[in-house]
Amino acid sequence: MKVNIKRYLLASALVFIFIFGFDWVFHGIVLSGVYRQTSYLWRPSEYMGLYMPWMLLGQFLFSFIFCLIFLKGYENKGPAEGMRYGFWIAALFGPSYLVRYTVTPLPAFLVAAWVIGLFIEMILAGLIAAVIYRPKP
C-alpha cells in the first residue's frame, strides 16, 4: 500500500498534540499531588523549563514513529484497528515501568497510575491515528 504522506503528517501532528495535552493533564494536574509528595525523586521545578525542549522532542519523535509503525501495518479496519494498535503499544511499553519501579524508589500507586494512563493514552492515540489516516469514502 502506498503511504499517504499528507494524512500521515496530519495524524502524526494530531497524535503529538494529543499526547502533549494528555500528559499535561495527567501528570501536571491529576498526579501533581503525588509528584509533590515525591519531589525528592525529580528535578527541582525551577529547572524543569530548561529540559522542556527535550520532553517535546521526545513526544514529537514518539508521535511520528507511532504513526509510521501504525500505517505500515494499516488494514483500513476502522477506529477499532487504531485502538487495538494503541493497546499493543501500551502492552509493549508498560512493563518498562516495572523496571523503573525496581530501580527507583517510586510509590507503587504512581507506577500503577502510569501504566493505566499509558493504556488510556495509547488507545486514544491509536484511535486518532486510525480516524485521521483512513481513506476518504
Exposure of 19 in the CB half-sphere (CA atoms within 13 A): 26
Helix (H, G, I), strand (E, B) or coil at 134: coil
d(CA 20, CA 109): 22
Mean pLDDT on 13-19: 98
How many other CB atoms are found less than 10 A from the CB of residue 122? Answer: 25
Q: How confident is the model at residue 1 (pLDDT cuts 50, 70, 90)?
A: low
d(CA 91, CA 115): 9
Taking the whole predicted model, whether its pTM rises above 0.85 is answered as yes
d(CA 64, CA 16): 8
Going by C-alpha positions, the residue among 89, 90, 91, 95 that lies closest to residue 111 is 95
Which value, to the nearest 10 degrees, does the dihedral of the CA atoms of residues 60, 67, 69, 57 take?
Answer: 0
> pLDDT (tens digit, 9 = 90+) per residue, 46-76?
888 899 999 999 999 999 999 999 999 999 9
Is residue 22 predicted with pLDDT exceeding 90? yes
Give residue 68's pLDDT: 96
Is residue 17 predicted with pLDDT exceeding 80? yes
Cell numbers describing residue 64: 511520528
Question: Is the distance from CB of 80 to CB of 131 less than 8 angstroms?
Answer: no
Domain residue ranges of the chain, discontinuous segments joined by +:
5-133
Q: What percent of the chain has pLDDT over 90?
A: 91
